Structure 1
Amino acid sequence: PAQAPDFLKNLSYSDYQSIRFKPEESLWRSGKSRFQVMMIPQGSFYSHAVQLNVVDSEGVHPMGFDKTRFDYPNPELAKRIPADLGYAGFKLTYPLSGKDVQNQFLVFGGASYFRGVGSNNTFGLSGRGISVNTGLPSGEEFPAFTEFWMEHPKADSDVMVVYGLLNGPSLTGAYRFEIHPGKNTKMDVTAQLFFRDNIEQLGQAPLTSMFFYGDNTVRPRGEWRPQVHDSDGLLINDGKTGEWLWRPLVNPAELQLSYHHVQDLDGFGLIQRDRKFGDFQDSEARYDRRPSMWVKPLGEDGEGWGEGQVVLVEIPSGAETNDNIVAFFKPAQSVKAGENRRLEYSVSFGEPEITEQPNGKAVRTLIGNGRENGGSGDALRLIVDFKGGELSGLRPDAAVVSQVSGGEGVEVIEHFVEYIEVSDVWRLSILAKPSAEQPLTLRGFLNKDNEPLTETWTYLLGPKTDLRGNPK
């Protein structure tokens, strides 16, 4: 797409943020629609225009650009804005917190990115239309939405429909988003993709987030906040085996890709389980209110996406301003030029409970030096606290058993489980010794009478990453 003028692309993020859309200029404000639309200006990372259209009973109407819809920080910048510049995207508003308040709840802006929240959230992680070769040495390609069509909702409607045209060197696609705002906001997505080239690693329903440090890492020097992250783990549900798998995120020393095989994906997402202000102590960022995102494949006759891999990409980061986490589904069937595929799925934004995960959950992962408390050598002590599900009704002396296994080169020296009354959790303690040259990989869960009580906790630390997950 044609690029924005250099003086806009070169704006600092803070200068760009000072360009404000006037709320009174919102689309459909004069009507009775619960939904309204605010436009996004070009500048900084938003480097190209997106054509916006309105669909109503009379047909399709392109939206022309109007620079007077924005307040600019100074007259010098305002006079340099071209009259035909175009918008970079849009924000949807809806009365989530009261009938007289228009709350921003969904944003489409930048490449194929979109961000959403439920009624109790602040904006955090993002979704994307598609990803191409994310994390590979060949380099990533970023397809972009280049045009949108917004159906004008009826006055009393609580559902809105948006169509998007996606374009990129290797593929193009048509998208339909059926949007349901609320305590947890949900979008039903239908996409028809057409491939121009072979794609080595197609990412369906990609999610992008940030993990700087957390419970399972060393706090960086000079940081006073206990944790800083938009998401603290990847959750996967295999519909064929019924297994729920939880993978705490890390900030690795080197680029780290993990491939989690599923026979029939039922859902996956990046989750923010830490929900207390005291977990972060950040009154401005409010990481405790960041949303979780959950993707659930849909399809005709109940068929989903079938076999494939949920890929987790973890990128080293020295700051919380970098989105360094990506998760997506890679289908088992390779993508060839000339093919087309139809995808149907839902994306939900909101509280961690959007996953409807019924088992006991790993609510905290801690890691430290295994030499303490009787350990030896280069062993590491890992603590995993489980809570909820069938664990909630058990007596403290119930016969709960831990099951732990290590990957190649990992020696599991010991593992045991105990009930911790003060925090009402079942604590799995693992002493493990990794190989010096290979990553530390572990899996563990709790069961009783040979029946699993919890999700499967899994962990990976690269050989060059500090023992508690923070880059050296």
Structure 2
Amino acid sequence: MFLVATEGTAAEVFGFDDVAEKARRLAGKNWSAPPEVPDFLKDIEYSRFQEIRFREERNLWRDTDSRFQVMLTPAGHYFSHAVALNEIHDGDVKPVPFVRDNFSYPSEEFAKRIPADLGYAGFRLTYPLRGPDINNQFLSFAGASYFRGVGRNDGFGLSARGVAIDTGLPSGEEFPSFIEFWLEKPDAEAEQVVAYALLDGPSLTGAYRFTVQPGDALEIDVQARLFFRKETELPGYAPLTSMFYYGENTPRPDGEWRPQTHDSDGLLVVSGDSGEWLWRPLINPASLRMSYLQANDPKGFGLIQRDRDFRDFHDLEARYERRPSAWVQPKGDWGKGNVVLVEIPTRSEVNDNIVAFWSPSDSPGAGETVDLNYTLKFGPPGISGHPAGVAVNTFLGDGNRIGGGDQEGAYRVLVDFAGGPLDDIEAGSDVVSHVSASNDTEVLEHFVEYSEPTGQWRLSMLVRPAPEQSLALRAFLSRGGEPLTETWTYELPPGVDIRDR
């Protein structure tokens, strides 16, 4: 249950309550947008912005015995405003001043135009993840309330956010921003680092404490307190933002040679009501789609990248098989609500077009305060702790051709399941498929068989959507009346028709 925060006395050592008091006071004032960087930096081309590089010899904490270091991010391009940065050491707070020479620039003439008080857009944390001699970047905060993280063997991909407001609604989305950070200087033996953040936006302010532990998976304990200036139609807590251009279950765009292109391939949800694990493959729709998956007192949700083989993508530059998954594990009772999935049409891999977050059934009103606590993980797809068999492939084809079937207007849908208790079941065992449909979708047939080449169990369905209606399916496998797998769900809206490809 969300708690209403009460005022307390300030701590002797700077901490979360101090940031919360700043956020509370700020919420009592009218919102004003942060000052933007000069136009020449805001309008700079991406390739030229990439030429502005932080000098690693200027890393914060480089000259200490801490294994953590901090790289500073230049303002400009997507990062249209600077943030205030502070360091906490032995309880004392001191600002991290902007130093123009901390960066190298495309030219001396360009460097002269950088204001001496410009500020930084954010920061990147480093740690020797892959050996004692190199500090690897593992967490980055920059731009609005976005932050990105990786596990030991990942490359950067999807992002998390502090909060989402009215995402996907016709009224337009609001993007609150982190405007100030405080970094606790860790000692030599520290395996964690702590950062605080102050958030501000038209509808709310917020205080955050991030306790960060790098490793095979990056684990971040998040404590947040939100102060609402006004009621919002669709508040989104613990939001995740990713990219899905196309995959095995959607049409391949004309001219594309790569088999798939995405940072995440599905949404995984486990509800507190039933304990059911629900898997929803992502799509790139013809028009914006919003899905509300009931998740009262959610036990976890995340955007997952299950395709982790180079042969799934064949992209030597992007290396999508190394993109991390992200998993949110709420603490305490979050109450009634939904995991909301927003899928936005995109014609390229440049734009993030997928957002997932939890939203309460009753939106907080003006003047209300919400406390949130959760653990956020970035890493391999197993970070969710999923105990059952999982859907590793979803394939769609024409249900009226050789190999698909003989039903006009139908689809052949194949789902490969593996892992969990399935690994201990021999071929020929009495595994049963369960398939249901909605939106007047017809289920013409379904059966399950063991796939010897892959060691997986394949569910085959012949289904037909109603005219101008979404294809809508749910399925899972069982044995002896006991579920073996998560529940696979799929929706294919009108206008995304692979039978014509």
TM bracket, shorter-chain basis: over 0.9
Aligned residue type for 2:167: T
| Paired residues, number | 466
State whether structure 2 residue 482 is matched by structure 1 residue 451. Answer: yes
Q: How many angstroms apart in 1 are the aligned matches of 2:381 and 2:437?
A: 28
Alignment partner of 1:438 out of 429, 453, 469: 469
Aligned residue type for 2:371: R
Q: CA offsets, 1:432-471, max 9 Å, x none? A: 1111222111100001111100000000111122237x9x
Partner in structure 1 of residue 434 of structure 2: 403
- Whether the 8 Å contact between 1:205 and 1:295 is mirrored in structure 2 is yes
State whether structure 2 residue 162 is matched by structure 1 residue 133. Answer: no
Q: How many angstroms apart in 2 are the aligned matches of 1:333 and 1:267?
A: 20
Q: How many angstroms apart in 2 are the aligned matches of 1:307 and 1:94?
A: 39
Aligned ranges for residues 28-177 of structure 1 at < 5 Å?
A: 28-57=61-90, 59-177=92-210
Partner in structure 2 of residue 361 of structure 1: 390
**3-state SS, counterpart of residue 422 of structure 1:** coil
Report the alpha carbon displacement of residue 333 of structure 1 after superposing the two structures with TM.
2.2
Report the alpha carbon displacement of residue 386 of structure 1 after superposing the two structures with TM.
0.3
Partner in structure 1 of residue 247 of structure 2: 214
Aligned ranges for residues 340-351 of structure 1 at < 5 Å?
A: 340-351=369-380
Aligned ranges for residues 251-290 of structure 1 at < 5 Å?
A: 251-290=284-323
Q: How many angstroms apart in 1 are the aligned matches of 2:296 and 2:102?
A: 50
Aligned residue type for 2:145: S
Aligned ranges for residues 224-263 of structure 1 at < 5 Å?
A: 224-263=257-296
Q: CA offsets, 1:160-186, max 9 Å, x none? A: 000000000000010000000111010
Aligned ranges for residues 170-209 of structure 1 at < 5 Å?
A: 170-209=203-242
Report the alpha carbon displacement of residue 58 of structure 1 after superposing the two structures with TM.
5.3
Unaligned runs of 5+ in 1: none
**3-state SS, counterpart of residue 426 of structure 1:** strand
Aligned residue type for 2:161: R
State whether structure 2 residue 495 is matched by structure 1 residue 464. Answer: yes
- Whether the 8 Å contact between 2:296 and 2:334 is mirrored in structure 1 is no
Identical aligned residues as a percent: 58
Report the alpha carbon displacement of residue 64 of structure 1 after superposing the two structures with TM.
1.1
**3-state SS, counterpart of residue 370 of structure 2:** strand
Q: How many angstroms apart in 1 are the aligned matches of 2:290 and 2:91?
A: 50
Mean Cα deviation higher: 219-228 or 47-56:
219-228
Report the alpha carbon displacement of residue 377 of structure 1 after superposing the two structures with TM.
1.4
TM-score, normalised relative to structure 2: 0.92
**3-state SS, counterpart of residue 48 of structure 2:** helix
- Whether the 8 Å contact between 1:184 and 1:354 is mirrored in structure 2 is yes
Alignment partner of 2:338 out of 309, 313, 319: 309
Report the alpha carbon displacement of residue 342 of structure 1 after superposing the two structures with TM.
0.2
Q: How many angstroms apart in 2 are the aligned matches of 1:438 and 1:385?
A: 25
- Whether the 8 Å contact between 1:254 and 1:465 is mirrored in structure 2 is no
Aligned residue type for 2:146: Y
- Whether the 8 Å contact between 2:405 and 2:412 is mirrored in structure 1 is no
Partner in structure 2 of residue 426 of structure 1: 457
Q: How many angstroms apart in 2 are the aligned matches of 1:102 and 1:423?
A: 38
Report the alpha carbon displacement of residue 90 of structure 1 after superposing the two structures with TM.
0.4
Partner in structure 1 of residue 42 of structure 2: 9
Aligned residue type for 1:405: S
Q: CA offsets, 1:347-401, max 9 Å, x none? A: 0000111011010000000001110243311111110000011111112111111
Mean Cα deviation higher: 218-227 or 267-276:
218-227
Aligned residue type for 1:349: F
Q: How many angstroms apart in 2 are the aligned matches of 1:389 and 1:182?
A: 24
Q: CA offsets, 1:138-180, max 9 Å, x none? A: 1000000000000000111011000000000000010000000
Q: How many angstroms apart in 2 are the aligned matches of 1:374 and 1:27?
A: 63
Unaligned runs of 5+ in 2: 1-33
Partner in structure 2 of residue 379 of structure 1: 410
- Whether the 8 Å contact between 1:200 and 1:335 is mirrored in structure 2 is no
Q: CA offsets, 1:228-264, max 9 Å, x none? A: 1000000001133110000000011110111100232
Report the alpha carbon displacement of residue 304 of structure 1 after superposing the two structures with TM.
2.8
Q: How many angstroms apart in 1 are the aligned matches of 2:53 and 2:91?
A: 31
- Whether the 8 Å contact between 1:254 and 1:462 is mirrored in structure 2 is no
**3-state SS, counterpart of residue 423 of structure 1:** coil
Mean Cα deviation higher: 367-376 or 187-196:
367-376
State whether structure 2 residue 369 is matched by structure 1 residue 336. Answer: no
Aligned residue type for 1:329: W
Aligned residue type for 1:352: P
Q: How many angstroms apart in 2 are the aligned matches of 1:316 and 1:21?
A: 35
State whether structure 2 residue 413 is matched by structure 1 residue 391. Answer: no
Q: Where has structure 1 moved over 3 Å in runs of 4 or more? A: none
Let me know the Cα RMSD of the aligned residues.
1.1
Q: How many angstroms apart in 1 are the aligned matches of 2:498 and 2:315?
A: 26
Aligned residue type for 2:185: H
- Whether the 8 Å contact between 1:375 and 1:431 is mirrored in structure 2 is no
**3-state SS, counterpart of residue 4 of structure 1:** coil
Q: How many angstroms apart in 2 are the aligned matches of 1:375 and 1:259?
A: 34
Q: How many angstroms apart in 1 are the aligned matches of 2:187 and 2:171?
A: 47
Q: How many angstroms apart in 2 are the aligned matches of 1:89 and 1:441?
A: 42
Q: How many angstroms apart in 2 are the aligned matches of 1:338 and 1:189?
A: 22
- Whether the 8 Å contact between 1:253 and 1:466 is mirrored in structure 2 is no
- Whether the 8 Å contact between 2:151 and 2:217 is mirrored in structure 1 is yes
